[in-house]
Amino acid sequence: MFEVELIDVSKHFGTVKAVDHVSLGVKKNEFYSFLGPSGCGKTTTLRIIAGFEDPDEGTLKLGETIANDIPPYKRNVGIVFQHLALFPHMSVFDNIAFGLKMAKVGKEEIRKKVNESLELVGLPDFGNRRIHQLSGGQQQRVGIARAMVKEPGVLLLDEPLGPLDLKIRQHMQLELKRIQKQVGTTFIYVTHDQGEALTMSDSIAVMNLGKVEQIGTPREIYDRPKTQFVANFIGETNFLDGNLGPSAEFACEGLPRPIMVEGEEWSGEGVLSIRPERVGIGPGLKGLDNMFDARVEDFVYQGSHVSVTVAAGDNLHLKIQASPTVPLKIGEKTHIGWNKIDATVIRLEKH
Amino acid sequence: MAATGVVGAAIGAVAGNYYGSQTAHVQAERESEVRVYTWSEYIYEGLIDLFKSLTKINVVYDTYESTDEMRAKVTPGHSGYDVVMITDYMIPEFVDLGLLAELDTTLLPNLEHLDDKFKNPDYDPGNKHTVPYVWGTTGIGWNSAKVTDPVTTWADIFDPERIRKHVGDQRVVTMLDDMRETIGAAMKYLGYSLNDLDEGHLNEAKQVLLAQKPYLAKYTGALEYIPGLSGERFMMSHAYSGDVFVAQADNPDVTYTIPEQGCTLWVDNMVVLKDAPHPVAAHAWINFIMDPAVMATISNDRYYANPNKDSLPLLNKSLIEDPGIYPPEDVYKKLEIMKPVTSAELEKYQKVWLDVVG
């Protein structure tokens, strides 16, 4: 059973299909991300789960209950928006207690719950501080504590780390993951940042133009992208056009022999995707399933690695992330190669 | 009133279910949205998200730029809005048109924070239809670096001798293009009430305005005088208090003065429309705004005084100590709220106004 399930859900705004036949299931205690560029439908999907939008078609289930007609306030769902709206003139404690006071919760219970939630977000002694005395990351934690104090079964997070600097952001990603694991609340997280989604999620639904392109673990999404959009949106990749034969050989025009692949049980027109960091390079390269002669066209030193462009076979260009220790000279011949398991073939849809 | 019971129960259901402490045995009509129509730049935006996440009521928040725009959209009815912001003197017109719902005070427990001074106003006896939001004054914005002597009284902007002394013969002074405000200012200069309808007094006001006119750049509104003051195209402008503080944020030489004779005190009010699609959610929104912490956040962010006595301890010191925002008691006593007028009385103003601007 899923904690949150969307079955063939669509939502239109005028002629725009914001959410287009989306089906997905979020398990209890899962950290689930909706990932995609702006306008992909991820926020509208989140708003449908919250109850701020009614789906035009399809079914929303919360647990075993069909929730399409359940008003938002009867759904056991909390929300954290990007705009935290903390009260700058009030203490951390009063900020977290605000919603509980509004709901006329007793004083002792408020004290207990607020202190527990402060403990949870790693700010146990911060109750008396003022908001303006806190760093951006600490304010973010207060925002999370304010949402968690209501003990929602599902917490929806709408790009809450957006305004933070990269360093604090990366730290908060790990913190959010820790908090989620500790309390076991189901988190549904909306983001356009692939790194963020890969770092935190148990499952990711990659969305584009209102549709779900692929659902999977971060590893599946990265290593086995099912569409060109997913391969391209998540990380960098090389695409090679060709045909997959019945014996797991991918014939690519311009290469002297087919590329051997693994785990593809179909044949037909496709696109092979190979990540730059999975391609080996060097004159002494050996022992890989696929090896080709190539010529170094350009390279840029980037600290931890070197970004190399090579031309292989009949002028096929590939981007490669190489170790800075690999000897490189523009115009010189070298070898490139990769193992079967490192590439994936995306089937082209017949229209 | 039978409706009150249902409505009250619905609010109980909102609070209860939200914390999971009550079950949904109450048959409440689904009100998961509130539609608010208000002046632009009039709230700390994060509060909208906070309300949404705390109450699970979605907020559609639309804004208007002028009273005319609001009037055109709301007065025909069926605007689809629940809560609308309306300035004091316009309230009776909206009541007469039958547009405003009577408020259910059982849904507004935060009314207890309302300062007595703002209860039972002339424009809405008994607060049947309105809850005040923020208030301000209509005085003079001026450039303290360029105007030679401090501006302290209406004479500084009305007396041709003084204008010449302040800014020479350049036309760098503006008055509001608002009939009631501008005639009212001239009445205050003359020592009369701005609600005085005596024809002799109004005629004197007309002479004052005509004598001032050659020195004016123009009669204009906020869209022009805010950048005009901050960009130093205008040196003195008859202006709404909050607007001057907006100009001041760009140019610290811009100063706001409540003239010695006193001036208009205006109050913007939250009302619920009679045909509001979500009357319960509308009350929940108004009650949320009336929370002292919420109100203080709005004032601190937008530089407007508010009528919420329990928000005072939460206000920034700079705000509460600014006599232009929170005038001291002796100045406050000289402020007047504009009285609504009958159409016959309105004509008196229009006659003067046409002679001045025509």
Residue B315's closest chain A neighbor by CA? Answer: A89
CATH number at residue A325: 2.40.50.140
Query: Per the structure, how many domains does chain A have?
Result: 2
Q: How far is B38 from chain A (nearest CA, A)?
A: 20
Cβ within 8 Å, pair B32-A71: yes
Report residue B169: phi and psi, to 5°: -95, 5
Q: Are residues A202 and A241 in the same domain?
A: no
Cβ within 8 Å, pair B293-A90: yes
Cβ within 8 Å, pair A85-B315: no
Helix or strand holding residue A281 (H, E): strand A280-281
The pTM for the full model equals: 0.81
Contact list in B for residue A101 (CB cut-off 8 A) is: none
Contact list in A for residue B54 (CB cut-off 8 A) is: 98-99, 102
Q: Are residues A174 and A260 in the same domain?
A: no
Is residue B269 a contact partner of residue B75, using CB atoms and an 8 Å limit? no
A51 touches chain B (CB under 8 A): yes
Beta-carbon contacts of B256 under 8 Å, excluding residues fewer than 6 positions away, are: B139, B140, B141, B239, B241, B244, B245, B248, B324
CA atoms within 13 A on the CB side of A54: 9
Alpha carbons A84 and A245: distance in angstroms, whole number = 54
- Residues, chain A: 351
Q: Are residues A176 and A241 in the same domain?
A: no
pLDDT greater than 80 at residue A130: yes
Q: What is the CATH number of domain B136-265+331-357?
A: 3.40.190.10
Of A1, A26, A19, give the one whose Cα is nearest residue A77. A26
Of B42, B120, B107, give the one whose Cα is nearest residue B288. B107
Q: Which of B30, B53, B316 sits opposite A79 (nearest CB)?
A: B53
Arithmetic mean of pLDDT over chain A = 94
Q: Are residues A217 and A262 in the same domain?
A: no
Interface mutation target, options B44, B45, B54, chain A, most CBs of A under 10 Å:
B54
CATH number at residue A182: 3.40.50.300
Cβ within 8 Å, pair A102-B57: no
Domain boundary among A228, A245, A272: A228
Is residue A236 a contact partner of residue A194, using CB atoms and an 8 Å limit? no
Q: What are the structural domain ranges in chain B?
A: 2-19+28-134+266-326, 136-265+331-357
358 residues of chain B, pLDDT tens digit each: 333 333 333 333 333 333 333 333 333 455 789 999 998 888 988 899 999 999 999 999 999 877 878 989 999 999 999 999 999 988 999 999 999 999 999 999 999 999 999 999 999 999 999 999 999 999 999 999 999 889 999 999 999 999 999 998 889 999 998 899 999 999 999 999 999 999 999 999 999 999 999 999 999 988 899 999 999 999 999 999 988 998 998 999 999 999 999 999 999 999 999 999 999 999 999 999 999 999 999 999 888 999 999 999 999 998 999 999 999 999 999 999 998 888 899 899 999 999 999 8
Domain B2-19+28-134+266-326, CATH number (from 3.40.190.10, 3.30.720.210, 3.40.50.11900, 3.20.20.60):
3.40.190.10
Q: Which of A50, A87, A94 sits opposite B297 (nearest CB)?
A: A87
Q: How far is B41 from chain A (nearest CA, A)?
A: 16
Interface mutation target, options B23, B26, B32, chain A, most CBs of A under 10 Å:
B32
Q: Are residues A205 and A258 in the same domain?
A: no
Residue B29's closest chain A neighbor by CA? Answer: A71
Cβ within 8 Å, pair B13-A87: no
Q: How far is B257 from chain A (nearest CA, A)?
A: 28
What is the model's pLDDT at position B24?
34
Q: Are residues A278 and A212 in the same domain?
A: no
A31 vs A327, which has greater pLDDT? Answer: A31
Q: Are residues A197 and A312 in the same domain?
A: no
Q: Are residues A220 and A283 in the same domain?
A: no
Domain with A210, as residue range(s), is 4-228
Cβ within 8 Å, pair A73-B49: no
What is the model's pLDDT at position B28?
43
Interface mutation target, options A52, A73, A79, chain B, most CBs of B under 10 Å:
A73
Give the three-state DSSP class for B346.
helix
Q: Are residues A44 and A174 in the same domain?
A: yes
Q: How far is A196 from chain B (nearest CA, A)?
A: 23
A149 touches chain B (CB under 8 A): no
A89 touches chain B (CB under 8 A): yes
Q: Do domains B2-19+28-134+266-326 and B136-265+331-357 have the same CATH topology?
A: yes
What is the model's pLDDT at position A314?
87
Alpha carbon of residue B11 to chain centroid: 29
Cβ within 8 Å, pair A73-B14: yes
Q: Are residues A216 and A80 in the same domain?
A: yes
Q: Are residues A297 and A268 in the same domain?
A: yes
Of A183, A185, A188, give the one whose Cα is nearest residue A201. A188
